[in-house]
Structure 1
Amino acid sequence: MPNTENEQRLTPATVRSRVRIPLAFPDGYRTEAEVFTFHGLTDGAEHLALALGTPDPAQAPLVRLHSECLTGDVFGSARCDCGPQLREAVERITETGGYLLYLRQEGRGIGLYNKLDAYALQDSGLDTYQANTALGLPEDGRDYTAAAQMLSTLDATTIRLLSNNPDKAAQLTTLGVDITERIPTGIHVSDTNVRYLRAKVEHTGHSIPLPRLVG
């Protein structure tokens, strides 16, 4: 159940604008999103909520919190699984109805330039979390208070969460979001991102089955 005490601590946000945008992906998949912008988000960042599909009144909306990844989402970098996860999430949410929250949290909250600096350290042998700490930065600096504000504003405080990351579920629950189900994403593994995926399992308990990453 929602944590009403913490829910009351959320400062209210309001919808700033909403606009319909047709989406097209390189593999030919197409859909349409209603994109929401907001006033009053706690971190002042320009986060977006994309409403996709037609909600089923018999079940909670499917929600994905997707942190911005310029290299993966835009340029198709194979060092991570962010681009494929974004593509998968858009289709799965469109099928069932819900929201994709596109959060401006590049590099797990450390920013684009720092993320690229961390890549250089990874090339010398560190994993993605070790590289962040070697730069004097948090392993994962993301805070999901703004995401909880957005969901509250959209009257979506009971959700099904599309995520492999237990920290997203834990933070949202603390912030008053009732998660009825946590649904894992697909496993988008390649020779170039297998170390990255393994680090997510070993450092932060992501629900990625390691046997599928071996061999």
Structure 2
Amino acid sequence: MKASIEDKVQTRIPTKHGEFILHYYSNSLDDKEHVAFVKGEVAGKDEVPVRIHSECFTGDVLGSRRCDCGAQLDMALGLIEQAGCGVLIYLRQEGRGIGLLKKLQAYNLQDQGLDTVDANIKLGHLADERQYDIAALILSALQVRSINLITNNPQKIDELTKLGVKVHDRIAIETRVHDDNVDYLKTKAERMRHMLNMPDSE
């Protein structure tokens, strides 16, 4: 069955980064609540700033310093605000696709000395199990012609390109490195090919 989505509702959300329209999508692939946060007019436009952000409850909501997710979410919205238009797609694929329970178990393995890749593998998962089919469908539904993708992850660019998304350029999104996330970020750079400059820890 070919994947499909339906834009069920749109509503205005004022934020510290200005006003956005939140689109709620149902889909034929899973029962999760994927959404798009849209600023300005993006239909028919090229080089639209786009962030495809995978859910991170601990970072996005609780402000955990173990990762850079919450900081990236905030920074991406700021970049979209500066550009005057753009899209943040929030995909419900916690823990690089392994779910919250397994992610928390992976955290405990990391505290025992494993890195983020080996912790996932020890739990029987891949280092990264995320998929971007729904993101591609959302961009198509929003009639975005091409994007400037806000990411450090080359795999995300490759996957979207395979799905037919025209990625014109990449916008880097690097947050502060500190003692709580330095090992996590080093693993991203060294083992997952993320395009990161690793400054000295604070």
Do Structure 1 and Structure 2 share a fold, with TM-score over 0.5?
Answer: yes
Q: CA deviation at 1:58?
A: 7.1
User: In the alignment, is the contact (CA less than 8 A) between 2:71 and 2:175 conserved in 1?
Assistant: no
Q: For residues 34 and 163 of structure 1, what CA distance do their matches in structure 2 show?
A: 22
Q: For residues 45 and 56 of structure 1, what CA distance do their matches in structure 2 show?
A: 25
Aligned position for 2:66: 79
Unmatched 5+ stretches in structure 2? none
Q: For residues 33 and 17 of structure 1, what CA distance do their matches in structure 2 show?
A: 14
Do structure 1's residue 129 and structure 2's residue 117 form an aligned pair?
yes
Aligned position for 1:22: 14
* Alignment root-mean-square deviation, CA: 2.0
Q: Which residue of 92, 105, 117 corresponds with 2:93? A: 105
Alpha-carbon displacement from aligned partner over 1:12-52 (angstroms, at most 9, x marks no partner): 423111111122xxxxx342210001233533421100002
TM-score, normalisation: structure 2:
0.92
Q: For residues 145 and 120 of structure 1, what CA distance do their matches in structure 2 show?
A: 31
2:108 match: secondary structure: helix
Alpha-carbon displacement from aligned partner over 1:136-174 (angstroms, at most 9, x marks no partner): 111111011111111111111411100000111101000
TM-score, normalisation: structure 1:
0.87
Unmatched 5+ stretches in structure 1? 1-8, 24-28
User: In the alignment, is the contact (CA less than 8 A) between 1:187 and 1:208 conserved in 2?
Assistant: no
1:188 match: secondary structure: coil
Aligned position for 2:106: 118
Do structure 1's residue 95 and structure 2's residue 82 form an aligned pair?
yes
Q: 1:48 to 1:41 in 2, by over 3 A?
A: farther
Aligned position for 1:206: 194
Alpha-carbon displacement from aligned partner over 1:105-161 (angstroms, at most 9, x marks no partner): 110011111101000000010001110101111111101111111111111141110
User: In the alignment, is the contact (CA less than 8 A) between 2:147 and 2:168 conserved in 1?
Assistant: yes
Q: For residues 35 and 112 of structure 1, what CA distance do their matches in structure 2 show?
A: 24
What is the total number of aligned residue pairs between the two structures?
201
Deviates more, 1:35-44 or 1:11-20: 35-44
Deviates more, 1:182-191 or 1:10-19: 10-19
Q: For residues 204 and 55 of structure 1, what CA distance do their matches in structure 2 show?
A: 31
